């Protein structure tokens, strides 16, 4: 897996003004865009979402505030202004344009898939966002300083179109230039990119489970059946390197101030403890005194709680975009919604086994070794469902564990909320401070960035009044 070296975890040096497109070649822009997007998805997005989801808990500074549901526009701007719009998405728009001019569809295909990933993430956080006018500074049509906001449902169609176009581009028999080592995800392996594109299409169809349960399930399964990941080795991810200077997002944040600001979440630790989950010591570092695994409650500072474990807290920890484990859980859920219970159980069992095998692989630096006995015991109890025993609650609960610290887990939890499950699956408890910041309700989206409110106020205000942290994105009904 290729690696790229950066001197810091803030990518300000490669973020560019959307109204002043760079003249850098596509092979320079691509790794910069991929790294920037990875640091966004596996940085603030994953951190704040995972705090909301109580997989981790904030114990000081902004992280404690987020745990108390005080996510403000300044914090939201760190992702919007840093990793997404003037960062990765701007670079990707330049690649898409330049690759078309250069007759390099293989570059354009990868860029379109990455753009779909970034745009889908933006919609899942904010609902309506700019896109159609967001990068007009990169085209001959003239610049747009204050881009209008497109409707979220239409942007989901755009996500699917980008992914479909990306597949076609990557299937092109000729391309003037093709990605190679500059592609940090697959090293230029086009067949794997096509598998990833179909997995992403399945993800975004599956997100529409509350909009149209049957159709979204059928469409997700169509993409999986067309051919996607077959094992953990196919995961779309970046492994940055195994030294501090070349480390991936989570390690770089954990060795800085962020590492003092978060601890394992009490809900998550208790859930895994009650299930004797063999992934717990890999996800959460054992304490040397007292109880080995202790979490911090939602919205409460407990600095003595356990730190994050070796699976994520190491330089070479994978920074995922989408994985085989997630795709199998999508397959399980979609089949179950269509009444295909045996197929749902088989996909679910495969997802659980794949997660256990991946997470509990030996990590010598942390003295973490695989316990085959514990793994087999867990799979017998929680990963051996049948057509008679499989349920949606089991799928959502195991996916919550398997997608530890991945932003997608918060999307799933929001989708799991129904009249019968008002606290989602698994059932979370409101932070003790929820009355102060959210009137006793769970966060369901991110606030618009303060920079947008200040610089693009008319378009932000055109979205209406229902754009607070307790309002919902379009698919969350």
- DSSP notation for 218-265: HHHHHHHHH----SGGG-EEE---SSSTT--HHHHHHTSTHHHHEEEB
The reported pLDDT for the residue numbered 145 is 82
The reported pLDDT for the residue numbered 18 is 39
What is the token pair recorded at 472? 């919902």
Neighbouring residues of 423: CB distance < 8 A, sequence distance ≥ 6:
417, 429, 430, 442
Beta strands 236-238 and 262-264 are unpaired
Please give the model's pTM, rounded to 2 decimal places: 0.94
Beta strands 236-238 and 319-322 are antiparallel
Residue 366 in contact with residue 310, Cβ under 8 Å?
yes
Annotation: CATH topology of 22-188+430-477? 1.25.40
Mean pLDDT by 10 residues, the chain (477 residues): 37 35 85 97 96 97 96 96 95 97 98 98 98 76 80 98 98 98 98 98 98 98 98 97 89 85 97 98 96 97 96 95 99 98 99 98 96 98 98 98 98 98 98 95 97 96 92 97
Beta bridge partners of 363: 368
Residue 155 in contact with residue 117, Cβ under 8 Å?
no
Peptide bond into 15 cis (omega under 30): no
What is the distance in angstroms between the CA of the first residue and the CA of the last residue of the chain? Answer: 40
Residue 379 in contact with residue 275, Cβ under 8 Å?
no
> Three-class SS of residue 465?
coil
CA dist., res. 325 & res. 303, Å (int): 32
Residue 289 in contact with residue 376, Cβ under 8 Å?
no
- What are the phi and psi torsion angles at 417 (to 5°)? -75, 125
Residue 397 in contact with residue 383, Cβ under 8 Å?
no
Beta bridge partners of 172: none
Residue 129 in contact with residue 150, Cβ under 8 Å?
yes
The reported pLDDT for the residue numbered 5 is 38
Q: Select from 230, 250, 220, 243 the least CA-distant residue to 319.
A: 250
> Three-class SS of residue 192?
helix
CA dist., res. 288 & res. 442, Å (int): 34
Residue 398 in contact with residue 352, Cβ under 8 Å?
yes
């Amino acid at each position: 897996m290729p690696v790229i070296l950066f001197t810091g975890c803030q990518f300000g040096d490669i973020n560019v003004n959307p109204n002043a497109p760079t003249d850098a070649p596509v092979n320079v822009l691509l790794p910069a865009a991929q790294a920037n997007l990875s640091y966004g998805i596996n940085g603030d997005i994953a951190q704040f979402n995972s705090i909301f989801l109580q997989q981790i808990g904030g114990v000081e500074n902004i992280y404690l505030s987020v745990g108390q549901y005080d996510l403000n526009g300044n914090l939201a701007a760190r992702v919007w202004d840093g990793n997404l719009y003037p960062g990765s998405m701007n670079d990707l728009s330049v690649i898409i344009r330049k690759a078309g001019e250069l007759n390099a569809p293989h570059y354009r295909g990868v860029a379109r898939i990455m753009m779909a990933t970034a745009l889908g993430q933006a919609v899942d956080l904010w609902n309506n966002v700019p896109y159609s006018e967001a990068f007009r500074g990169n085209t001959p049509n003239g610049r747009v300083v204050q881009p209008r906001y497109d409707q979220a449902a239409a942007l989901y169609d755009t996500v699917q179109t980008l992914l479909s176009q990306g597949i076609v581009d990557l299937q092109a028999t000729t391309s003037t230039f093709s990605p190679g080592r500059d592609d940090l995800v697959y090293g230029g392996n086009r067949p794997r990119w096509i598998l990833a594109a179909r997995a992403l299409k399945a993800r975004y169809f599956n997100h529409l489970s509350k909009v149209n349960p049957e159709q979204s399930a059928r469409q997700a399964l169509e993409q999986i059946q067309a051919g996607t990941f077959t094992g953990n080795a196919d995961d779309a991810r970046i492994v940055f390197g195994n030294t501090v200077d070349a480390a991936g997002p989570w390690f770089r944040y954990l060795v800085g101030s962020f590492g003092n600001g978060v601890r394992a979440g009490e809900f998550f630790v208790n859930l895994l403890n009650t299930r004797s989950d063999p992934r717990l010591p890999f996800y959460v570092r054992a304490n040397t005194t007292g109880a080995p695994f202790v979490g911090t409650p939602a919205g409460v500072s407990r600095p003595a709680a356990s730190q994050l474990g070796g699976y994520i807290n190491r330089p070479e920890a994978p920074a995922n975009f989408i994985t085989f484990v997630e795709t199998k859980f999508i397959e399980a859920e979609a089949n179950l919604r269509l009444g295909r219970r045996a197929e749902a159980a088989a996909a679910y069992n495969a997802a659980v086994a794949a997660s256990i095998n991946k997470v509990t692989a030996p990590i010598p630096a942390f003295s973490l070794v695989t316990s085959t006995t514990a793994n087999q015991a867990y799979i017998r109890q929680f990963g051996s469902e049948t057509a008679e025993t499989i349920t949606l609650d089991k799928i959502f609960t195991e996916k919550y564990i398997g997608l530890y610290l991945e932003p997608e887990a918060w999307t799933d939890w929001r989708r799991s909320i129904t009249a019968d499950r008002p606290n989602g699956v698994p059932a979370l408890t409101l932070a003790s401070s929820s009355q102060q910041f959210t009137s006793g309700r769970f966060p369901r989206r991110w606030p618009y960035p303060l920079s947008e409110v200040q610089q693009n106020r008319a378009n932000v205000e055109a979205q209406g009044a229902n754009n607070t942290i307790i309002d919902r994105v379009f698919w969350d009904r």
